[in-house]
Amino acid sequence: MLEEKPFLGRGWSFPPTFEADEGTVEMAEAEEDINQSLHILLSTSLGERVLQPEYGCNLRDYLFEPMNTSLITFIKDLVETAILYFEPRIKVELIEISESDSFDAVRGRLQISIDYHIRETNSRFNFVYDFYVNEGVGP
């Protein structure tokens, strides 16, 4: 049986999934809730969320910028700052950004890897976010 961890939070799953038979919404809890929260944070542009215009991470602003060391460093800082302000349940240990291989570089994919630990449990996790630099490219 899974150990309940209500102190880590519970929220709607992402993307929202509705159970028509039961009339309920699928929920995400604990570590899964944190991973989904990170995905939402990195996918949201500043000003996109109603009543929270500061929420998000403007990764889309850099879609057409040439990827170089200074831009990658800037994106790392952008991601780390967004997590610092909007995901207090975790502490970031390391953020790595890489064009994972030549095929992915051609497709325009940056892989953002975040190593973190959950403050309340001191459990370590890794979250990988694929950011597609070229418009119209995706998994």
pLDDT for the residue numbered 30? 72
Domains of the chain, start order: 6-132 (3.10.450.40)
pLDDT for the residue numbered 78? 94
d(CA 50, CA 52): 5
Largest CA distance in the chain: 51
Strand duo 27-29 + 90-98: pairing? unpaired
Answer yes or no: pTM beyond 0.85: no
Ordered mean pLDDT values, 10 residues apiece, the chain (139 residues): 57 72 75 87 92 91 80 92 94 85 57 92 92 60
pLDDT for the residue numbered 131? 78
pLDDT for the residue numbered 103? 43
- DSSP type of residue 46: T
**Which residue type does 129 have?**
Y
Q: How far is CA 74 from the centre of its chain?
A: 16
